[in-house]
Structure 1
Amino acid sequence: MAETPSLFEQVCTAHGWDTPAKFIRAFEETAALLAEPTTVTARQVRRWWRDVPPPRPRARAWRVIHAMLGVNPVELGFPNPPPGVTVERAPLLAQEGISVDRRAFLADSIGVVAATGLPEPVAHLSPTGRQGAIGTTHLLELREGLRFLYRLDDSYGGGDVRPLAVRHLHRIRRIINTSTYPDALGRQLQLLAGETAEHCAWLYYDTEEQDQARRYWGEALTTATMLRDASLAILVLASLSLQASHEGRPRDGYDLARAARDQAARFGSPALQSLLASREARALSLMGDHTGARRRLAEAMRLLDRSDRGRPAPEWAAFHGTAELDFAQGLLHVENGHHDRAVPFLRAALEHQDRTYGRNRALYRLTLARSLIQGGDADEGAGHARDCLGHLDEIESGRVMQRLSEVAGLLDRVDTADARDTAQQLRAYAHARGAA
């Protein structure tokens, strides 16, 4: 007769770690997530599963196991914690005679398919332990949900994605406030809440609801301060700089970008420094300091060329590249009133922009159309604007629609039949989208 698996082995099997190799892979991922320098061997895993009582893990391994399962290892049959580990004992799973079966997944998804009709898989949360115990599996699934929202925003803009992000943030907060987890995992959940609040702010910014954007950026900055997390603080400061410049507060935009750059200096990431230098350049240009703006933008380009020599940029800065700097250079010429000089850079930005960034491509094309019209080539500008209309059916972005209205207004002042007809098409389209 086969030996009955231990409670710890049953719990591991319920999470899908039914072989030592699978357990070791999950253990190493969790250790990396928690920055715990520890490893485990297949022999150790087998002894933890089969010995009675199992040998007590060292302090670092104990913390990793606790985070993986969201359960105090004492409740799974291990001896008392080793020195250096302080955990509360709570009767989560270890009850006399309990059997931990594989539970059905909860229908607790971010609802993306239902809300958008897109052919993407619904992200389910794995089942929690008794009394709402949370492990790293849940954290990784929640983080993947945020990445999915990033991808949707890149492709389709913030309008339809924003309510999904707000719901995702509510879910994370609910888990933080109603579930059981170790301190190390709690910090990661709080950080994820801050990152999700920042993304909510960005989505409100993209839909031109700036007061709401400020509110969520304020929440994210509070989280960064509480956790002393420089990466999140840099992200928020960089975003607030962009908003300040967008709202006509370039001095604030410059100071915020400088504050972000000061914090980012120790990270040693040329790509991140390039992004922040481009934010400074944008603010300086709007302040009328075109010489300073050119210098900072040139520095941003030099830093991007050196991005393979230092640390990589954080994941949130993946969008920054050649297309972004081409666009920034084009805007610099626009602020100088040199629309003819802006056009080649705006063309290059559109050409270099990855097609996965659908919202940015629409914004770039309409900005190119605007500069062509202002530079005296209304026919080509009108053509780009018309070409954009079909693509805009996929986009829900207040910034893009604002740029569309600017182009329509410029075409209204051009005394040709083609310009007037295009302006009428753009206004009709914008009206229909507003009525929807």
Structure 2
Amino acid sequence: MDRRAFLNDSIGAVASMGLPSHALPLSPPGETGAIGTTHLMELRAGLHSLYQLDDAYGGGDVRSLAVRHLRRVRRVINTAQFPDTIGRQLHLLAGETAEHCGWLYFDADDQEQARGYWGEALTTATMLRDANLEVLIFSSMSLQACYEGRPRDGLDLARAAQVRATKHGSPILQSVVAGREARALSLLEDGKTARRRLTSARKLVERDHHGRPAPEWTAFHGHAELNFLQGLYYSDIGHHSAAAQFLRAALIHQEASYGRNRALYRLTLAKSLVDAGEVDEGAAHAVGSLEHLEEVESGRVMRRLTEVTGALRAVDSVSAHEAAEELREYAQAKEAA
């Protein structure tokens, strides 16, 4: 069974976890016809399930489910009765779901759609004056700006997020944003400040048990992510052997449930190895990553696959050219499917 069929068939299997489906209505309203805490919990469980599916399979196929869930939340807001306290939480959930739609479109490499959903989410965050949602949106937009070759914008967005994250008081949240700052700084060739922010990000993770609890969306952040960011930093400054060491550590420490990240990490490691002159090992990792890609639909990962293919083609090596051809054929078959 292919990935798309699996996702479609999985909706019923994980419905008990709250995965949104129009065939699965919310619990009936109360005696007064009002929406209450139970309904809010069901809708929030749906968003939680979308986070899990994204971690495992990437944004390509999951985004349509997220859009359906956002429509459901909007429908409840605009047609149901509820007290003001529940209303605020519903609006917040709509903003968080819109942000996640933006993230999923970003991962699928549909950047215009991502911007549209993030704009909607930011409007909600501003209306509610919710700093946590603003941190989430600005940090996501920072990552997109760096991805699109706009590191100055990425740095400004990350710093705006950091101001709000500091007020929130969660060390993990501040660490996530420090990592986004470091990424932008390394792309701006400010290596000294980038190293300082990466050091801060690591120290903040060690303070996990101090301050306020981290928001749910930061669950991905830990030693694997920090090693990945350190690897990207060394790659940006041309120290490819050092980059490969950190990327190996990132791959080793990444949990199996993060299928998309494992595919991205392994392809990034493959490119660093090729750039470091370890062509055979790099080619082996590149070809080995195809097994992970069978389960993942992510435009960002496919873009990295293209970069690795180009790096292998540029090397005067039979094994590299054979690996590059295998990657090219896989990409063509995946696109055709």
TM-score, length basis structure 2 = 0.93
Q: What is the distance in 1 between the residues matched to 2:44 and 2:185?
A: 36
- Select 1:166's aligned residue among 50, 67, 80: 67
Aligned to 2:283: 382
Which structure has the bigger radius of gyration? Answer: 1
Q: What is the distance in 1 between the residues matched to 2:48 and 2:13?
A: 13
Asked if 2 retains the 8 angstrom alpha-carbon contact of 1:269 and 1:312, the reply is yes
Q: What is the distance in 1 between the residues matched to 2:69 and 2:185?
A: 36
**What secondary structure, in the 3-state scheme, does the structure 2 residue paired with 1:139 have?**
helix
Q: What is the distance in 2 between the residues matched to 1:300 and 1:114?
A: 37
Q: What is the distance in 2 between the residues matched to 1:191 and 1:197?
A: 10
**What secondary structure, in the 3-state scheme, does the structure 1 residue paired with 2:93 have?**
helix
Aligned to 2:13: 120
Confirm or deny that 1:265 pairs with 2:166: yes
Asked if 2 retains the 8 angstrom alpha-carbon contact of 1:113 and 1:120, the reply is no
Structure 1 residue 346 displacement after superposition: 0.3
Instruction: For 2:38, give the aligned amino acid.
Output: T
Aligned to 2:145: 244
Structure 1 residue 116 displacement after superposition: 2.2
Q: What is the distance in 2 between the residues matched to 1:114 and 1:165?
A: 17
Structure 1 residue 189 displacement after superposition: 0.5
Confirm or deny that 1:364 pairs with 2:265: yes
Confirm or deny that 1:190 pairs with 2:91: yes
Asked if 1 retains the 8 angstrom alpha-carbon contact of 2:131 and 2:168, the reply is no
- Select 2:46's aligned residue among 145, 149, 168: 145
- Pair 1:115–1:372, CA change in 2 (3 A): closer
Larger helix proportion, structure 1 or 2? 2
Q: What is the distance in 2 between the residues matched to 1:293 and 1:258?
A: 13
TM alignment of 1:41-56, pairs within 5 A: none
Structure 1 residue 192 displacement after superposition: 0.3
Q: What is the distance in 1 between the residues matched to 2:68 and 2:277?
A: 47
**Structure 1 residue ranges (4+ consecutive) displaced by more than 3 angstroms after TM superposition:** 112-115, 129-132
Q: What is the distance in 1 between the residues matched to 2:166 and 2:263?
A: 33
Structure 1 residue 421 displacement after superposition: 1.3
- Pair 1:113–1:141, CA change in 2 (3 A): farther
- Select 2:101's aligned residue among 185, 200, 214: 200
* Aligned Cα root-mean-square deviation (Å): 1.6
Asked if 1 retains the 8 angstrom alpha-carbon contact of 2:262 and 2:292, the reply is no
**Which deviates further from its counterpart, 271-280 or 113-122?**
113-122
Confirm or deny that 1:277 pairs with 2:170: no
TM alignment of 1:39-118, pairs within 5 A: 116-118=8-10
Structure 1 residue 301 displacement after superposition: 1.0
Alignment deviations for residues 356-379 of structure 1 (CA, whole Å, 9 cap, x no partner): 111000000000000000110110
Q: What is the distance in 2 between the residues matched to 1:323 and 1:206?
A: 19
Structure 1 residue 269 displacement after superposition: 1.4
Q: What is the distance in 1 between the residues matched to 2:7 and 2:291?
A: 22
Aligned to 1:17: none
Instruction: For 2:8, give the aligned amino acid.
Output: T
Alignment deviations for residues 354-405 of structure 1 (CA, whole Å, 9 cap, x no partner): 1111100000000000000011011001100111111211000000011111
Q: What is the distance in 2 between the residues matched to 1:204 and 1:121?
A: 22
Q: What is the distance in 2 between the residues matched to 1:321 and 1:213?
A: 25
Larger relative contact order (Cα-Cα within 8 Å, sequence gap ≥ 6): 2
Aligned length: 325
Instruction: For 1:259, give the aligned amino acid.
Output: A
Structure 1 residue 113 displacement after superposition: 8.9
Alignment deviations for residues 285-305 of structure 1 (CA, whole Å, 9 cap, x no partner): 001101110111111111111
Aligned to 1:62: none
